[in-house]
Chains A and B, each alone.
Chain A
Amino acid sequence: DVKVTQSSRYLVKRTGEKVFLECVQDMDHENMFWYRQDPGLGLRLIYFSYDVKMKEKGDIPEGYSVSREKKERFSLILESASTNQTSMYLCASSSWPYYEQYFGPGTRLTVT
């Protein structure tokens, strides 16, 4: 079974803090993704990566950056957290961009 793990299930941070969300997959997938999930809005793509050190902006990249130094790990960085970044963050991976994605359990981030 594909396993995608995320470093934290719940996280509480203060406005202005730098936040790191980590994601690791164990299936040697080339592609990794970060989404945020908000009620009534579904999942929206923040960034994705199709190879080590490669990244592309998704639909809502503002306020976020990413890092992929190793194939199995994809990090999402909030440079200066704001309250409107309070959300559920989901990481996913896939073997090919057009194939199904496998999701991690999510990190519920609250910024106060």
Chain B
Amino acid sequence: AQSVSQHNHHVILSEAASLELGCNYSYGGTVNLFWYVQYPGQHLQLLLKYFSGDPLVKGIKGFEAEFIKSKFSFNLRKPSVQWSDTAEYFCAVIPPTGKLIFGQGTTLQVKP
């Protein structure tokens, strides 16, 4: 079945560690790609998005993601995490069908 997969369900890091969260999708054709973040007690908000152009996308709070078309991947990275990055992160894809499809989510816990 077509889907969006986030391989890491729960990640625990120490402050200043580097972060990479994997996201793979199985849709062909043109896709729009997103990472959303949900901080504890807050609503879901957009972290970054890719529609076209430069496959390396920079978002808010020092996050970036790289679209690798040949690998159907859109991994999220941050060179040095902070305690305030503790949150749940969702990868999402809009395939040619037009409906936003979310991955299962990754809970990131950053230890101070």
Contacts and interface: CB of A to CB of B under 8 A. Distances in A.
B102 A43 contact: yes
Nearest to A50: B98
Interface in A66-112: 90, 92, 97-106
B68 interface: no
A4 B44 CA distance: 11
Interface string B71-87: 00000000000000000
Contact of A100 (B43, B49, B90, B98): B49
Contact of A40 (B34, B51, B104): B104
Nearest to B97: A97
A19 interface: no
Contact of B103 (A33, A42, A97, A103): A42
Interface in B40-94: 42-46, 49, 51, 90, 92, 94
A40 B102 CA distance: 11
Interface of B: 4, 6, 9, 32, 34, 36, 42-46, 49, 51, 90, 92, 94, 98-105
Given A42-B4, A97-B94, A103-B43, 13 more contacts: A40-B9, A40-B104, A41-B104, A42-B105, A45-B99, A48-B99, A97-B99, A98-B32, A98-B51, A98-B98, A99-B32, A103-B44, A104-B43
Interface of A: 4, 33, 35, 40-45, 48, 58-59, 90, 92, 97-106
